[in-house]
């Protein structure tokens, strides 16, 4: 038995050594770091509860095992213990209260501009989904990409999410939590990347047979490299036309694609912008008017 147990543990260690770290516990931005911290706090609280319960279980099984008692033993009649009942009711209430406080506080933090970036102007990116691809519009840079994102590090990113099909969920695990993209409204997601690198993004909400491949890549780089990429796109990429965009919306999978111009002028996002402040709403409206004028 000892040899079997040691062999099993050794094999488990070998298998675990080849596993990649959980992406949600390997944060590369302030929003993801906050959420990873909350996850670890929750795991710690739950682990403490499980350990205490298991210790009490072993203690009860050993202390009150039948072999220790005489054959004619009869347990005494007990009406109840106010102390024990108070602990059984009070401790769960305290646990729920603590987790609720942490969750509500964190929710307000991750829904706002990332901490430490409040004084910077965010880069606004319109992220729209269709079956089964992602379209990313950069109104400031006048660029649109399909199934990949380039973003600068150490700058807040404000994503405007919506869908040209069923409800999807925009998620970059190492940068922050997921948020829904819907057909009749725009939702806002605030993220930022502290570390350069390439990260995985995906649709986290089932949206049909092509859902599994509804993914994209995110490359975070310093501002200078990002500016070089913008110049390169304007020098080499083809312009995005309404006819081309209509073809992109057809169901199916595509690789990475890059265009100059965006679809926001001839195919604007929904008017209702949920979660945007006054300044963003105004900026959104002004951009649409400018884009429409240019298109005409």
Is residue 155 predicted with pLDDT exceeding 80? yes
Please state whether beta strands 238-239 and 148-152 pair in parallel, antiparallel, or not at all (unpaired). unpaired
d(C-alpha 118, C-alpha 261), whole Å: 29
pTM: 0.80
Residue 163 confidence (pLDDT): 96
Is residue 21 predicted with pLDDT exceeding 90? no
Q: What angle do CA 258, 262, 264 make, to 5 degrees?
A: 150
d(C-alpha 40, C-alpha 25), whole Å: 8
Average pLDDT, the chain: 88
Residue 282 confidence (pLDDT): 40
Six token digits for residue 167: 């409800």
% of the chain surpassing 70 pLDDT:
89
Decide: 116 and 193 in contact? Cβ < 8 Å. no
Question: Per-residue pLDDT averaged across 117-142, rounded?
Answer: 96
CA dihedral 212, 213, 214, 220 (to 10 degrees): 120
Decide: 258 and 219 in contact? Cβ < 8 Å. no
Please name which of 133, 183, 135 lies closest in space to residue 159, comparing C-alpha atoms: 135
What are 190-245's pLDDT values in tens digits? 999 999 999 999 999 998 898 898 999 999 999 999 999 999 999 999 999 999 99
Question: Per-residue pLDDT averaged across 15-32, rounded?
Answer: 78
């Amino acid at each position: 038995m000892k040899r079997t147990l040691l062999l099993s543990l050794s094999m488990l260690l070998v298998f675990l050594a080849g596993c990649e770290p959980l992406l949600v516990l390997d944060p590369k931005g302030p929003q993801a770091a906050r959420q990873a911290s909350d996850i670890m706090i929750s795991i710690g609280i739950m682990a403490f509860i499980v350990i205490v319960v298991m210790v009490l279980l072993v203690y009860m099984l050993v202390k009150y095992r039948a072999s220790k008692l005489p054959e004619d033993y009869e347990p005494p009649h007990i009406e109840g213990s106010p102390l024990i009942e108070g602990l059984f009711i009070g401790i769960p209430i305290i646990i729920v209260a603590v987790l609720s406080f942490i969750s509500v506080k964190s929710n307000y933090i991750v829904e706002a501009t990332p901490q430490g970036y409040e004084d910077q102007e965010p880069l606004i990116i319109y992220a729209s989904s269709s079956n089964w691809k992602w379209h990313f519009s950069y109104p400031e840079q006048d660029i649109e990409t399909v199934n990949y994102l380039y973003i600068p590090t150490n700058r807040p990113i404000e994503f405007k999410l919506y869908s040209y099909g069923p409800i999807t969920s925009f998620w970059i695990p190492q940068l922050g939590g997921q948020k829904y993209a819907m057909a009749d409204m725009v939702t806002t997601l605030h993220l930022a990347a502290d570390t350069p690198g390439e990260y995985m993004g995906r649709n986290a909400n089932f949206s049909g047979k092509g859902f599994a491949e509804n993914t994209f890549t995110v490359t975070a780089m310093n501002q200078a490299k990002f500016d070089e990429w913008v110049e390169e796109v304007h020098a080499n990429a083809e312009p995005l036309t309404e006819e081309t965009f209509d073809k992109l919306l057809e169901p199916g999978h595509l690789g990475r694609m890059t265009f100059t111009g965006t679809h926001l002028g001839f195919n604007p996002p929904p008017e209702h912008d949920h979660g945007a402040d006054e300044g963003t709403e105004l900026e959104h409206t002004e951009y649409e008017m400018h884009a429409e004028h240019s298109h005409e």
